[in-house]
Amino acid sequence: SHRASICYRPIEPSDREILEQIHCDLFPIRYESEFFQNVVNGQDIVSWAAVDRNRPNGQSDELVGFVTARIVLAKESEIGDMLRYDPSKPDQTLVYILTLGVVGVYRNLGIASSLIQKVVKYASSILTCRAVYLHVISYNDPAIRLYKKMSFQCVRRLQGFYLIDGQHHDSYLFVYYVNGG
Ligand code: ACO
């Protein structure tokens, strides 16, 4: 065992294989290879990686956590009605978190909290941005607890939002307002 030294950096093309592997391990949903390509090339997606600089066996630059997000137009989003939205400003944006994950042995160290903070800080720096939002499957208690602790507000429960192995599951929609919401 060793003491973790966590750093945050952009996701790069060389991360692709590990990124894909961790998504496959952590999520019940399959993502297209186009998604991973867009993430590592930064095409329409912003992302951060967490790495452990003290990790042995040449793994000191290997992802142990990640967050991916996309900028969307508020008027084209499903939460346009939940913003203090000024129709005279049609350029209002939101940041939508697509995926967030931390590999098992690195959990409960605050890595996901830090990754969310990166996204919130980034969103706050965009003058047109009004909120960060995301969906989470209704039975994912650790993630729900985390979003609540990070002061995200649960604004909706969406019936049958996810279809996994032929089964429908509800999702919660969480929002964190920035720049006056
Ligand atoms: N020392 C000890 N404990 C800490 C520290 C610290 N420095 N910092 C935070 N913690 C605690 C937190 O208080 C929190 O406690 P809680 O469970 O009582 O709320 C707990 O550790 C978890 O917080 P983090 O450490 O910030 O989160 P973690 O890095 O463990 O990642 C995550 C949480 C992402 C949900 C992880 O469990 C995971 O990858 N799960 C599988 C994938 C997943 O469900 N992803 C989210 C799906 S939703 C979406 O992607 C939009």
| Residue 32 backbone dihedrals phi, psi, to 5 degrees | -65, 155
Domain housing 55: 6-177
For residue 145 and ligand 1, the question of a CB distance below 6 A is answered with: yes
- Round to whole Å and give the CA distance between 121 and 166: 38
Which is nearest to 54 in space by CA: 7, 114, 102, 110? 7
Residue 15 pLDDT class (50, 70, 90 cuts) = very high
Distance 85 CA to ligand 1 centre (A): 32
Task: Please say whether the beta carbons of 98 and 136 come within 8 A.
Answer: no
Residue 107 lies in a domain: yes
Which residue owns the Cα nearest ligand 1 atom 33? 112
pLDDT confidence of residue 2: 85
| Over residues 49-73, mean pLDDT | 96
Which of the 8 DSSP states describes residue 13? G
pLDDT confidence of residue 85: 74
pLDDT confidence of residue 83: 87
Report percent pLDDT > 90 for the chain.
91
The CA-CA-CA angle for residues 78, 115, 178, to 5°, reads: 45
pLDDT confidence of residue 89: 82
**Number of structural domains found in the chain:** 1
Whether 80 has a pLDDT exceeding 90, the answer reads: no
Whether 88 has a pLDDT exceeding 80, the answer reads: no
For residue 64 and ligand 1, the question of a CB distance below 6 A is answered with: no
Read off the tokens for 30.
Answer: 């399959």
Report percent pLDDT > 70 for the chain.
99
- Round to whole Å and give the CA distance between 44 and 98: 12
Task: Please say whether the beta carbons of 75 and 89 come within 8 A.
Answer: no
Helix (H) or strand (E) holding 116: helix 111-125
Q: What is the pLDDT of residues 143-165, one digit of tens each?
A: 999 999 999 999 999 999 999 99
For tokens 């203090």, name the residue.
84
Whether 53 has a pLDDT exceeding 90, the answer reads: yes
CATH of residue 74: 3.40.630.30
Distance 75 CA to ligand 1 centre (A): 31
Whether 87 has a pLDDT exceeding 80, the answer reads: no
Which of 49-53, 86-90, 143-147, 168-172 is predicted least confidently?
A: 86-90
Q: Look up the ipTM and state it.
A: 0.93
Residue 1 lies in a domain: no
Q: Indicate if the alpha-carbon torsion angle 119, 124, 127, 128 is positive or negative.
A: positive
| Over residues 32-46, mean pLDDT | 96
